[in-house]
Structure 1
C-alpha cells in the first residue's frame, strides 16, 4: 500500500474510508472549503450553480425586504409567512451542498498531499565540484562539497552512498544500488537501480540501501517528482477536460432555455389569473435546471483522478483519465507485461537413445552455478523430475560468455557438460574432435524448430566423457511464461471494444506463438522505436484512441504520441516526462485498470446526467400542476402526488433538489460500477436504472417531504 494511499487511512480517526463512502469527519473538514466557494468569483465557473447562487441572493433580498414592503409585490399571489425565507435558505443549502461535493473530493487529495509533504525532508547532498565521466566515472577520487538538497540545480552531479537519502530526482550515471522506494510507492521490497539502462531513474526522498551511485540531477527545486505529485493530488493544476467543458456548455444551454420558460410563466399567469410570486418563479427555475449534475460534475472528475491515485497511478491531467475511457487500441510490451520477463524451463526433451534422467541430471549440473532465472528454473524443474544434482563443488564452473554462447561444468572425473545455443554446442563438439551424426543433427533441428515455433527458446545439452565419448543429450525447453489470467482480461477488453496489440523485439515466429497463447488481437514483431511511433500514428489516423506503456528513453516518442502514455516510475526521466500518467508501482499490466477507471468516469458522468435530466422532468410534473391548479382547476388531475398546496409543493421540491445532491455524493466519488459490455447495452442499462430511477425518485421524495411540510402552519 502506498504512502499516498495510507494517508486515507488516517482521514477518519484512523480508519480508512471506502472508495465511495465518506464520513461526517470528512464532511466537517470539507465544510470550510465549501463555504469559501460561495464567493461569486468561484461560483461563476459553474454556470448552473451560479444561476442557483443568483437565485439565492435574489430570494434573500426579497425575504429581507418583505417585512418592509408588507409583501413581495403588491399584486403578487400571497404566500405563507416565512415561505420566502425558507426558499432562500434551501437555495443557499443547494449551493453549499454542491460546493461540499467538490470539497470532499478535493479533501481526499489534500490528505494525500499532506502525507507526501511529510516525506520531503531537507537532506545533505555530496555535490561533485567538477565531474569528469571520462577520467573518473565512479567519482572515487573526485572532491565534493556538502550542500542542502534545496540548493541543488539541474545537471548537478552528486554521490549517494548506502544508508543515505537521495537528495533529488535524477538519473544514475555510474554504479548500481538497491533502493528503498517505500516513501513514494509504499512497497517495502527494495528495487535495483543502475546506470545505462531503462531503470536508471531515482526519486528524491528514497534511500540507497547498498553500494554507491553517482547521479545527475534532472529537476529544479520545487519541480521534483514529489512536488508534481503534491500539486496533482491536490488538484491545483487540474484543468477541465473537453468533454467536461462540452457538458458544461450543454447544461448552461438547458439552463438558459428553462430561464426563458420561467420568465414567460408570469405574463401568462397574470393574463389568466394572478401573477406568480417571484420567489416561486426562482424556485421553479432552480428545480427545472439540471442542478444535480451541475453540482456533481467537478466532483466526478476529481474522484476519477483520485481512484487512479489510490492504485498508485498519477494522472498528469484529468484529460488523460478521460482519454483512457475512450481508448480503442491498447499497445502492450511483451516482456514484463504479457509475460513474466524471465524465461523458465518447462520441459526436458531427450534425443533418441538418451535416458531422460541422464539429460535432466546433466542439465541440472550445468546450471548449478548459473545465477540467472533461467538457470535457477532448470535446477528447480530437475528437482520436480526427481533429480537432485547436489552442489557445484563437483567440478569447475564454465561461465557463459557472449563469445561462446555456452555455459557448463567440468566435473572432477573429467566429464565436460555444456548447454547453450544448438549451433554453439555442436561447434564445441566438433572442436573437440567429435563428429555429430547427421541423424542426431536432423533430430536436434526438428526439436529446436518445434520449440522456436511455439514461442520457446531451445537450449541444447551435450556431454563429453573423459574417455572421449561425446554426444548430444537433448534439449531444454525455455519459455517466457505468459501471466495467468491475461487471456480472460484481453477477452474482457475485446468485449469493451478495445483491440490489444503486443509489441516485442522477438522474431515473428516467436511473437506469433506468444500472441496466440496470450489472446491478443495482433502483434508487432522486431519492433524498433520508429516502428512503435509509426503504429500509433497509423491507429490514430484511423480514428482510434491509443494507450501504451513504456519505461525507456526509446519509448519516449511513442509515449508522447499516444493518447494515454503510461510511464513506469522505474523508467528514465525522459519516459516520465513524455507520458501523461506515471505508474508508481511500475506494473505495466495496470494499464488495463486505467482503462476501466477511465470508462467508469465517463459512465458515471453519463449516468448522473441521465438521472439529473430525468429528475427535472419529474419535478416539472410535480410543481406546475400544484402551482396553477388554483387558477386552472383542470390541472388538478395532473397532481398525481396529491401535494397539499402550491406552497408546500414548491418548498418540497426545493428541499428535495438540495438533499439529492448530498445523497449522490458517494456515487459521484465511488463511480458507477463498470461492466464490460458494448456501448448500446451500457446506454440501455443507464436509461433503465438512472432514467427510470431519476423519474421515480422525485415523485417519492417530494411526496414524503410534502407530508412533513404540510404540518407547518400556513403551508
Structure 2
C-alpha cells in the first residue's frame, strides 16, 4: 500500500451527477412520524402486553407487574388516587409497546408492498440442458415457480417474470427491477462477469435469458427481504445488549431500595405519616401504590421503552434508502467504522473510461490518428470503444465515416490485448494496450518513435489509460507498420467526493481506495479524489489481507463489492455492502445489500450507523437526566414528614404529596409518547469529533432532560390541582 496526501485539484464538473455526490450539505434523517401511525399500531401495542412477550424487556416487565399490583390494590380498596395511578401505569406500558409497534409497522408496510410484487408465476424449466447443446438435446416443461430447486435451469423470455433468484448462464437481456429497488430504469443482465445475478420477481423486458436457480423454496432474496423488513429476525446488537444489562441492573438496585422502604419506615415510627401533609400516603392501600409509583419513576423506563424502537428504526432508515441490513449488528458496526475501503471503479470514478484526447506521434496528422481510432472502434461495443467513436466524430468532424464493405474485424482477446479491423484496401488498423501494439508494430517491420514512451508515461501519471493506435499496409499492402499515436482514456472522478471524504475525515474515518490499476495511475486518482490512502494492483488475497491487518489494529472495516472475487473481503469486513447487481456469492458474503447498486452509498450507511448510536446515546442521557426531576418531585413528598430537612429539595413546591406522585407518574408516561418521533426519526447527525458529539448530547439532551421535566411536572401538578382539587 502506498500513502498519498489528498490533492487540491477538484474533479471536473459533469452535467449528470449520481445521487449523493453533489456539493450540498447532507444530513441524515428519516422523515416525520404520521400521527395516524400511532392509532394503527395501537392494537399491536395491546397485544404486546402479554407478559411472555414483555419479558424480553425487563424494565417494562417490572412496570407491568407494578401496574398489575396497583390494579389489585385499587380493586380491593378503591380510591381516586389508586385508580389514577393504575391507569397511568398501564398507559406507560402501552406507550412503551406503542413505540416498538410503530417502528415495526413501518417495516410491515414495506413487507406488504414487497409481497404484492410476488405473484403466482410459472417457470420454463429446461431438462437436460447443457451449454452449447442443440435444442433437440433437451426439453422444456412448465412448472410452478414454487417447485424450483437450487441448480434448476429455466428459460425466461421477454415479458415474463424471473421465477427465482439465480445467475444468467446464457444470453443478455434488459430487466425491470422496479418491484425490488423502486428504480424505474431497466438494467442489463448478462452471462459471465459481475452483472449476471437476477432476482426473483423482476421482469425481463427484452430478449431471452437462461438462468440457473441458486435458491431453495422459501429462501429467495425476496423472502429474506420480507423477513428482514418485518423485523422478525432482528437480534439485539452487542451495544444494545450491554445497555439492556445496565438497565436491568439499575432496575434491580431500585427494586431492592424500594422494597426496603416499608421496613425502614416502620422502624422510624410511622412510615411517612408523622406529619399531616404526608398522612394520606400511609392510608390503608395507598402505601403499596405509592411504593410502586416510586419504583416506576426511579427505574429508567424512558430509555427502556424506546431502546427497541431505536434499533428497529435504524434498520428502517436503511430500508428507506434501499439498503437491506441482514442484522442490527451491521447497522451498529457501521456507526463505529474506523476505515472505509472503496473500490475505485464505480465508487470513486464512474467506471466507464472516456476518451479525452488523441496524441499523434511524429509527423502523423491528428486527423489521421482520429480516423484510425474511429475505424478500429466502430465494432467495439464497450463504453471505452463508444467513447472513442463519439470523441473522434465530435472533435474531428467525422460524422459520416463508416467501415467499407468487406472489412474484417479483429476481436479483442486477453492474449493479444488488441482489437482492430482489416480494410479491403490492404490497410490493417490495431488499437489496444501500448505494449501489445508496440510488439505488433515490431513484428510488422515498423519502428517506434521515442516520444511514444513519454506519452504513455504522461497519460499513466495523470491517472489515465493509454491505448496505442497503429497502422500497417497501404493501398498495395506493402508499407511497414507505423505507430500513429495514443488515445488518452480517462476514468472520471465523481464530483463532490472530495467534500464527502473530508466529512469522513472529520468523523475520524480513514478512507482507502482499492484498485487493480498500477501504482502510478492509482496515485493520480487518489490525489484527485482526496482519499487518505490507496492499495494498487489489488488482488482478492491482498484485499483480504488488508482488512485483516486493519482489524488486528483494533479498527472496524467497511467495504463495498459486487463480484465473486470480492466475496472473501466482504465476509471478513465488519460492514460488507454487496451490490444488488452483483453475483450471488457477493450478496451472500456481505451483511448488507444495496438494492440501488450505488457503491457510494456506503458513506451514507456509515452516517446512518452513527446516527443510530447518537440517537441511543442522546435518549439515554435524556432518560437518566429526567429522573433527577422525578426524584425532586417524589422523594420530598414521601419523606418530608419523617425527615423535615428534605423539604429543602421540594423546589417545585407541588400542591400535595399525592399530587406530586401522580404528576411524576403522568410525566413518566407522556414523555415516552413525546419521544417516539425522535426515536424513529433519529437525532440529526453532523460530522464532528466524538468529544464534540458528547458535548452536544450533554448540553442538549442532558441539560434538557433536567429542565424539561421540572417544567412539565409543575404544569401537570397545576392542572391536577385545578381539575382534581381533592388529590
Taking structure 1 as the reference length, the TM-score comes to 0.89
Q: Pick from 219, 225, 228 the counterpart of residue 223 of structure 1.
A: 219
The whole-number CA distance in structure 2 between the counterparts of 1:368 and 1:157 is 35
- 1:24 corresponding residue in structure 2: 35
> Which piece of structure 1 moves more, 425-434 or 324-333?
425-434
Q: Pick one of 599, 605, 613 that aligns with 2:610.
A: 599
Partner of 2:305: 295
Alpha-carbon distance change, 129 to 393 in structure 1, aligned in 2, over 3 angstroms = closer
Cα shift at 1:418: 4.6
SS of residue in 1 equivalent to 2:708: helix
Q: Which residue in 2 is equivalent to 1:455?
A: 463
Give deviations 1:261-289, integer Å, cap 9, x for gaps: 32343344441644452212211111111
Shift of 1:306: 0.5
Cα displacement string for residues 517-553 of structure 1 (whole angstroms, at most 9, x for unaligned residues): 2222222222222222222222212111112222222
Q: Is the 8 A contact 1:240 1:319 kept in 2?
A: yes
Q: Does 1:390 pair with 2:400? A: yes
Alpha-carbon separation, structure 1, partners of 2:165 and 2:223: 11
In 2: Cα distance, 1:154 partner to 1:406 partner: 39
- Please name the residue that 1:588 is paired with: 599
Alignment of 1:561-576 (within 5 A): 561-576=572-587
Stretches of structure 1 that go unaligned for 5 or more consecutive residues are: 1-17, 68-80
The partner residue of 1:282 within 287, 292, 297 is 292
Q: Residue 627 of structure 1: which of 620, 638, 654 is its match?
A: 638
Of 131, 143, 149 in structure 1, the residue corresponding to residue 145 of structure 2 is 149
Q: Residue 91 of structure 2: which of 67, 90, 93 is its match?
A: 93
Aligned to 1:11: none
Q: Give per-residue Cα distances to partners, 1:322-346, cap 9 Å, x unaligned.
A: 1111111222222112211111112
Could you say which residue in structure 2 is the equivalent of 1:74? none
Distance 2:595 2:706 in 1: 43
Q: Distance in 2 between matches of 1:577 and 1:149?
A: 22
Instruction: Say whether residues 1:516 and 2:514 are aligned partners.
Output: no
Cα contact 1:164–1:208 (8 A) shared by 2? yes
Q: CA deviation at 1:619?
A: 1.5
Answering whether residue 343 of structure 2 is matched by residue 333 of structure 1, we say: yes
Partner of 1:313: 323
Q: Secondary structure at the match of 1:342?
A: coil
Of 554, 558, 574, which aligns to 1:543? 554
What TM-score results when the alignment is normalised by the length of structure 2?
0.88
Note the alpha carbon deviations across 1:477-497, whole angstroms, 9 max, x for none.
Answer: 111112112222222112212
- In the alignment of these two chains, the number of paired residues is 679
Cα gap change, 1:430 to 1:243, in 2 (>3 Å): closer
Distance across 2 between alignment mates of 1:552 and 1:393 = 36
Partners of 1:129 and 1:689 lie apart in 2 by: 66
Secondary structure of the equivalent of 1:339? coil
Whether the 8 Å CA contact 2:370–2:396 is kept in 1: the answer is: no
CA separation in 1, counterparts of 2:665 and 2:184? Answer: 52
Q: Does 1:497 align with 2:508?
A: yes
Tell me whether 1:677 sits opposite 2:688 in the alignment: yes
Q: Would the alpha carbon gap of residues 408 and 392 (structure 1) be closer, same or farther in structure 2, given more than 3 Å must change?
A: farther
Q: 1:195 to 1:363 in 2, by over 3 A?
A: closer
- What is the CA–CA distance in structure 2 between the aligned matches of 1:434 and 1:220, rounded to whole Å? 60
**For residues 561 and 703 of structure 1, what CA distance do their matches in structure 2 show?**
54
Q: Distance in 2 between matches of 1:561 and 1:418?
A: 43
After TM superposition, list the pairs within 5 Å mapping 1:1-80 onto structure 2: 19-67=30-78
**CA displacement, residues 609-658 of structure 1 (integer Å, 9 cap, x when unaligned):** 01000011221122222333344444333222221111111111111111
SS in 2 for 1:132: coil
Report if aligned partners of 1:20, 1:671 keep a CA contact under 8 Å in 2. no
The 1:183–1:355 alpha-carbon spacing in structure 2 relative to 1, beyond 3 Å, is same
Greater shift in the superposed pair: 547-556 or 44-53: 547-556
Q: Distance in 1 between matches of 2:412 and 2:159?
A: 34
| Distance in 1 separating the partners of 2:634 and 2:398 | 84
**Is residue 163–residue 210 contact of structure 1 (8 Å, CA) maintained in 2?**
yes
Partner of 2:15: none
Whether the 8 Å contact between 1:536 and 1:546 is mirrored in structure 2 is yes
Distance 1:58 1:569, change over 3 A: same
> Are the aligned partners of 2:156 and 2:204 in contact in 1 as well (CA < 8 Å)?
yes
After superposition, what is the alpha-carbon deviation per residue over 1:115-159, rounded to whole angstroms, capped at 9, x for unaligned? 1111111111122233334645xx564112211111112222222
Q: Deviations over 1:387-431 (max 9, x none)?
A: 344332567475443365445567788876554333444455555
Cα 1:52–1:474 change in 2 (3 A) is same
Deviation sequence 1:342-383 (CA, Å, 0-9, x none): 111122334455555554555445544443222332344346
User: Relative contact order: is structure 1 or structure 2 higher (C-alpha 8 Å, sep ≥ 6)?
Assistant: 2
1:691 Cα offset (Å): 0.3
CA distance in 2, matches of 1:387, 1:474: 19
CA distance in 1, matches of 2:213, 2:365: 59
Compared CA separation, residues 650 and 570, structure 1 to 2 (3 A): same
Residue matched to 1:3: none
Partner Cα separation in structure 1 for residue 153 and residue 429 of structure 2: 47
Cα 1:360/1:140, change in 2 over 3 Å: same
Q: What corresponds to 1:78 in structure 2?
A: none
Aligned to 2:238: 242
Would you say the 8 A contact 1:331–1:500 is kept in 2?
A: yes
The answer for the alignment partner of 1:209 in structure 2 is 205
| 1:551–1:567 contact (8 Å) kept in structure 2 | yes
In 1, Cα distance between equivalents of 2:590 and 2:506:
27
User: Is 1:702 matched up with 2:710?
Assistant: no
| 1:122 and 2:120 are equivalent in the alignment | yes
Q: Are the counterparts in 2 of residues 300 and 605 from structure 1 also a CA contact under 8 Å? A: yes
The CA distance in 2 between the partners of 1:552 and 1:470, in whole Å, is 40
Moved more, 261-270 or 535-544: 261-270
SS at match of 2:77: helix
Deviation of the 1:434 alpha carbon? 4.5
1:215 Cα offset (Å)? 1.8
The correspondence of residues 177-216 of structure 1 with structure 2, limited to 5 A, is 177-216=173-212
The equivalent residue for 1:160 is 156
* Counterpart Cα distance in 1 of 2:203 and 2:171: 15
Residue 94 (structure 1) shift: 0.4
Hey, what does 2:385 align to over in structure 1? 375
Query: In the superposition, relative to structure 1, how do residues 463 and 389 fare at CA in structure 2: closer, same or farther (>3 Å)?
Result: farther
Partners of 2:212 and 2:396 in 1: CA distance: 51
1:617 equivalenced with 2:613 (yes/no): no
Given that 2:107 and 2:316 are in contact with CA atoms closer than 8 Å, whether structure 1 keeps it comes out as yes
Which consecutive residues of structure 2, in runs of 5 or more, have no partner in the other structure? 1-28, 273-280, 282-286
